[in-house]
Amino acid sequence: MAGAQALPRPRARLLGPQRRRSRESAPVHWWVHHRLWLPAVLGAVVGTALALLLVKPPRPIAGVLSGVAWQTTTSEARQMLSTTLGIALSSLSIVLSLSMLVAQNAAAQYSPRLLRMYLHSAGSRVVLPVFVATSVFCLVAAHAFGLSPENVREPRPALALAMLLLVACEAALIFQVLHTLQRMRVENLVQRVRHATLDVARRLTSVPAETLESSPPRSASTPSPLRIRRSGFVVAVDTRALLTLATERRLVIHLERAIGEPVVRGEDVGWLEYEPPASDASPESTERHVLHAIRVDRWRDEDQDITLGIRQLVDVAIKALSPGINDPYTAVEAVDQLTLLLCELGQLPLGSRVLTDASGTPRVFLRGPTLRDCLELATDQILRYGKGEPAVVLHLLRLAACVAQRARQVEDRRAARARLHTLLDTTEPTAPWQPLLRRYADALERALDGGAWPALPAIGF
């Protein structure tokens, strides 16, 4: 059938050998990564197990720990555990208050979409479980000591561990304070967004696939529509599962929604084309398995969404340009990170892709943003709100020129050069800094034609 013929080479470019393993995150790993309560629960379980083990340790463990165990009675042990619990809870209140204050300021000053960086930071993954483990350990151990009828002075290994956990809590408090202060710097925020987005792009493009330069062919037969069964955002696509399913059941899968796009329940997100002879599986079962490989969530996620990182940097820039904040240098920082990010993305095979089976037959067609889409997303809104700020416009001109110089594909270089002209034409023609912008744009044009790369004017620093 037409939709299952091998693509001619001018229309598709091979990215890697078919035998390379996919590096996409497994569903279990994704589930664990997005359950923020899981580290705290594990900390509580560890604290409970240690308390039950060390209040009345077995004889072999008691013999090993007797040299470091404190000599106390059960009442003294309960008092020390209560004191340790009070210190741990006081330190935890400091950590939570500082984290909430910084997260609130970051959402108000930069972008609410940056809160995910704080949710998945070391504070929620490491620091909070340490405090939870210490608190639960003290509570369970104090309760266990209260059930003991003995009131003689003897070694108590649980107290030694309580002191170690208290030291760990104080170390976690210091780490969280320093870590949070570093996260408050906008330079660190935008740089982390760039690194995370670039990692996502490299992981996605490492999957063996071919890029499409035109729309995939339509089958002569009537395709079966693929209707999504829940509303939300497309956050991930398990390409390995789709390719395996398409190969085993002899079908071609066309997915017309890119990662990050919103979908409505019952909406057509693509179609399926079946090859003769038909598979024994029913069409309903096939559609159910295909939809299971398309993960839809309530909000966008950065695991496979390249454009989300670009959107976050754009949000930082336009928020800084708002009259309530009026911080053009933060916008410049965001544009500079966008420049570095797009130049790196220009070396990767972005856009729509097709996955082929072992025989080279196209099986899965996936839609994705091109570098031209990313360039438009990175510059359009920033220019709209920052065209009256010459420093921002200078850096936007430099962004377009850098992409035009370093992009791998001719179409992307041509589009970036056209974007350079659009940026200059959109600025205020009667502004006093218009001659400066035009001179810099002309210098960038000469550099793209082989001349020397111009330095930024002083106002751009």
**CATH code for the domain in which residue 275 is found:** 3.90.1170.30
Burial class (CB in 10 A: 0-12, 13-18, 19+), 73: middle
Amino acid sitting at position 176: Q
Confirm whether 401 is domain-assigned.
Answer: no
Look up residue 377 and give its two tokens: 């997303």
Are residues 67 and 176 part of one domain? yes
Q: Is residue 411 part of a domain?
A: no
Would residue 276 be called left, alpha or beta, if left means φ above 0 and alpha means ψ between -120 and 50 degrees? beta
Whether the CB-CB separation of 266 and 228 falls below 8 Å is answered with yes
Q: Which of 248, 274, 297 is the last residue in one of the domains?
A: 297
Residue whose pair of structure tokens reads 């909070």 in the numeric block: 128
Last residue of a domain, one of 122, 154, 187: 187
Q: What is the pLDDT of residue 10?
A: 37
Residues 127 and 272 in one domain: no
Cβ 266 vs Cβ 227: under 8 Å: yes
Total of domains in the chain: 2
89 and 218 within one domain:
no
Cβ-contact 125, 35 below 8 angstroms: no
Distances (CA, A) of 333 to 142, 392, 395, 455: 52, 9, 9, 17
399 within some domain: no
Beta bridge partners of residue 296, listed in sequence order = 234
One-letter amino acid for residue 429 of the chain:
P
Q: Helix and strand tally (H, E) in the chain?
A: 17, 12
Pairing of strands 12-14, 268-274: unpaired
Contacts of 276 (CB under 8 A, 6+ apart): none
Residue 168 DSSP SS3: helix
In the block, tokens 């029913």 appear at 282
Assess whether 236 and 284 both reside in one domain.
yes
Asked, for residue 351, whether it belongs to a domain, the answer is: no
The residue length of the chain stands at 461
Same domain, yes or no: 156 and 78: yes
Per-residue pLDDT of the chain (461 residues; tens, 9 = 90+): 444 444 443 344 444 333 334 444 456 666 666 677 888 899 999 999 998 888 887 766 666 566 566 677 888 888 899 999 999 999 989 888 888 888 777 777 777 777 777 777 777 788 889 999 999 999 999 888 876 666 667 767 888 889 999 999 999 988 888 888 777 778 888 898 999 899 989 988 877 666 665 555 555 456 888 999 999 999 888 888 899 999 888 889 999 999 989 999 999 999 998 887 766 667 888 888 899 989 898 888 777 889 999 999 999 999 999 888 888 899 999 999 999 999 999 999 888 888 888 888 888 999 989 999 999 999 999 999 988 889 999 999 999 999 999 998 889 999 999 999 888 888 877 778 888 889 999 999 999 988 888 888 877 77
Mark whether 142 and 180 lie in a shared domain. yes
Domain assignment of residue 338, yes or no: no
Bridge partners for 236 per DSSP:
295
Give CA–CA dist 37/45, Å, rounded.
Answer: 12
Whether 31 and 113 map to the same domain: the answer is yes
Which of 274, 272, 247, 249 is closest to 360 using CA atoms?
A: 247
Among residues 50, 25, 76, the alpha carbon closest in space to that of 161 is found at: 50
**What domain range includes position 46?**
27-187
Return the pLDDT at 110.
78
Q: How far apart are CA 398 and CA 275, in angstroms?
A: 50
Q: Could you tell me if 419 and 444 are in contact, meaning their C-beta atoms sit under 8 angstroms apart?
A: no
The token duo for 92 is 């935890």
Amino acid code (one letter) for 188: N
Residue 57 lies in a domain: yes
Q: Look at residue 325 and tell me if it is in a domain.
A: no
How far apart (Å, rounded) are the C-alpha atoms in residues 204 and 24?
Answer: 7
Residue 227 and residue 272 share a domain = yes
Instruction: Tell whether 65 and 31 lie within a shared domain.
Output: yes
CA–CA separation, 439 and 152 (whole Å):
88
Query: How many CB atoms sit inside 10 A of residue 154's CB?
Result: 14
Residues 7 and 44 in one domain: no
Asked if residue 317 is part of any domain, the answer here is no
Reduced to 3 states (helix: H, G, I; strand: E, B; else coil), residue 344 is helix
Residues 6+ apart with CB under 8 A from 116: 302
Question: Radius of gyration (Cα) for the chain, nearest Å?
Answer: 29
Domain end among 266, 297, 328: 297
Q: Measuring CA to CA, which residue among 40, 33, 21, 109 is closest to residue 302?
A: 33
**Cα–Cα distance between 80 and 387 in angstroms, integer?**
64
Eight-class DSSP state of 57: -
pLDDT reported for residue 403: 94
Q: Do 33 and 158 have their domain in common?
A: yes
In this structure, the answer to whether residues 62 and 172 fall within a common structural domain is yes
User: How many other C-beta atoms can be found within 10 angstroms of the C-beta atom of residue 147?
Assistant: 9
What separation in angstroms does the CA of 260 have from each of 22, 126, 255, 279, 396?
20, 29, 13, 32, 25
